[in-house]
Amino acid sequence: MSLEVLVYGDPVLRRKSQPIETVTEEIRELAADMIETMYVEEGVGLAAPQVGVSIRMLVADAEYDEETRPARVFVNPEILESWGEWKFDEGCLSVPGIRADVVRPEAIKLRYQDLDGNVHEEEMHEIWARILQHEIDHLDGKLFVDYLSPIKRSLIMKKLKALAKESKGRITV
Ligand code: NI
């Protein structure tokens, strides 16, 4: 079931999400719905708060292959280490029609759980690292536009107010 994605201005997007203690059937179903929503909205990542649920879970698919749909689910993801620097043009399903260059670490070491509750550690680079950093920010109530300079941000906010929900790029998280 495809879910509605909350857009900029919704207070849920600014809340800090709660850790998941046990992966229940309900959470598994939410993960499946989030994956479906991500593909419907043509995004490469989606965090639970974006569909109105303040828990620490996100889905992502950097390959974005609609045929095979190899989406991954990350429960309680946390960044243990990060390094390097990489500038990338970001967008967000919750900030439709807006894109901007954001500098973030190029690589991260991530710890997360899967839907069976197993803990994993993984090193990620470039686009995967970017998506995970962007989505983990959502779990902390942070949006990519928060990284922009005040001037750039005020220009974007004007544009944002004038925009409808129509624009959706491929690299939109
Ligand atoms: Ni986003």
Give the active site residue among 26, 36, 126, 135: 135
Distance 45 CA to ligand 1 centre (A): 7
134 annotated as a binding-site residue: yes
Q: What angle do CA 37, 107, 171 make, to 5 degrees?
A: 30
- By the 8 A CB rule, do 55 and 20 touch? yes
CA–centroid distance, residue 46 to ligand 1 (Å): 7
Q: Is the pLDDT of residue 87 over 80?
A: yes
3 lies in some domain: no
Is 125 assigned a ligand-binding role in the annotation? no
pLDDT score of 65: 66
pLDDT at 173 over 60: no
What is residue 133's predicted lDDT score, i.e. its pLDDT?
98
Residue 5 placed within a domain: no
Task: State in Å: Cα 2 to ligand 1 middle.
Answer: 17
Looking up residue 56, the CATH number of its domain turns out to be 3.90.45.10
**Residue 66 within a domain:** yes
* Residue ranges making up the domain that contains 55: 11-167
Question: What 3-state class would DSSP assign to 65?
Answer: coil
Q: Looking at the domain assignment, is residue 153 inside a domain?
A: yes
Residues 22-76: tens digit of each pLDDT: 999 999 999 999 999 999 999 999 999 999 999 999 999 988 666 777 899 999 9
Q: What residues have a C-beta under 5 A from ligand 1, the ion?
A: 92, 173
Report the alpha-carbon angle 144-8-6, nearest 5. 110
Q: Is 87 annotated as a binding residue?
A: no
Strands 72-83 and 57-60 turn out to be antiparallel
77 within a domain of the structure (yes/no): yes
CB 102 within 8 A of CB 87: yes
Residue 4, in any domain of the structure: no
103-151 tens-digit pLDDT = 999 999 999 999 999 999 999 999 999 999 999 999 999 999 999 998 8
Return the percent helix, strand and coil in the chain, to nearest 5.
30, 25, 40
| CA–CA distances in Å: residue 159 to residues 20, 92, 146, 164 | 36, 15, 15, 10
CA neighbours closer than 13 Å in the CB half-sphere of residue 102: 21
Could you give the CA distance from residue 58 to residue 18 in angstroms, rounded to a whole number? 13
pLDDT recorded at residue 165: 45
What's the pLDDT at 52? Answer: 97
Cβ-contact 71, 35 below 8 angstroms: yes
Q: How far is the CA of 83 from the centre of ligand 1 (A)?
A: 21
Q: Is residue 135 annotated as a catalytic residue, yes or no? A: yes
Please give the residue that has the higher pLDDT: either 98 or 138: 138
Whether residue 74 lies inside any domain: the answer is yes
pLDDT at 168: 43
pLDDT confidence bin for 169, thresholds 50/70/90: very low
Residue 73 lies in a domain: yes
Number of domains observed in the structure of the chain: 1
